[in-house]
Amino acid sequence: MLLAPPPGSHVIDACAAPGNKTSHLAALLKNQGKIFAFDLDAKRLASMATLLARAGVSCCQLAEEDFLAVSPSDQRYRQVQYILLDPSCSGSGMLTRQLEESGTGVPSKERLRALAGFQQRALCHALTFPSLQRLVYSTCSICQEENEDVVQEALQQSSGTFRLVPVLPSWPHRGLNIFPGAEHCLRASPETTLTGGFFIAVLERVEVPSSVSQAKVSAPELRSSPSPAPKRKRRRRNAAAAAASSTLPCTKQEGN
């Protein structure tokens, strides 16, 4: 819902299986446009294909491929303006998993570092798609290392090309205040929202003001166009030289 791609858009679901998010995207698109869905798990992709077929989704292309290996310069993705990135995470916000699987409470520091490294690479990679306008990054984790830290690093690496978008202003639980703008992120937890733990950040490309673009275009033209004054000066110098040459002896001709 927060990605909000209009019908006809080209969208990437970077870590797609088992397909619930993808089918929701197709519904938002009204089955118009194109969804490129990537996942490395062949078994989960097969289940996803069944789910999408049952839902009547016809605008989706499934690929058993690592999103990190997908080239942003590939012509197939030149119109992609929206990306949903919900990568593998610790699942530290999933209460049902903690109840069903022993030892799945607080993840170890080593596991968090490994997951955060992958998440950061995936987010930075997604931001390099040339036509990208809007991206949603989400996890079912409550750990800062997988959430605010990943977003902060990606924003720093994008060098001002993308910014966090303030969304759902009435939502009570915001991002941890560890960098300016982190409050635009959304959090959920059993304690504050009576839900499972979750994190969402919405990033948008920063638009360059038209006046700045026009200045960049005009500047080279101004530099390359000679001013009228030097032309007039050159004409006067040429005329003076011609007059002077008509009054001077032609020594070379006399020598010949």
Active site residues: 140
Judge whether 16 is annotated as a binding position: yes
Judge whether 17 is annotated as a binding position: yes
Judge whether 18 is annotated as a binding position: yes
Hunting for tokens 């999103």 — which residue is that?
67
Q: What angle do CA 18, 20, 26 make, to 5 degrees?
A: 120
Judge whether 20 is annotated as a binding position: yes
Judge whether 86 is annotated as a binding position: yes
The answer to whether 120 and 88 have CB atoms below 8 angstroms apart is: no
Query: What is the C-alpha radius of gyration for the chain, rounded to an integer number of angstroms?
Result: 29
Judge whether 197 is annotated as a binding position: no
Judge whether 55 is annotated as a binding position: no
Q: Which amino acid is at 151?
A: V
* Cβ atoms within 10 Å, residue 178: 12
Judge whether 31 is annotated as a binding position: no
For residue 80, the surrounding DSSP H or E stretch is strand 80-85
Judge whether 39 is annotated as a binding position: yes
List of residues 6+ apart from 87 with CB closer than 8 A: 14, 15, 118, 119, 122, 123, 139
The annotated binding site is made up of 15-21, 39, 66, 86
The annotated binding site for S-adenosyl-L-methionine is made up of 15-21, 39, 66, 86
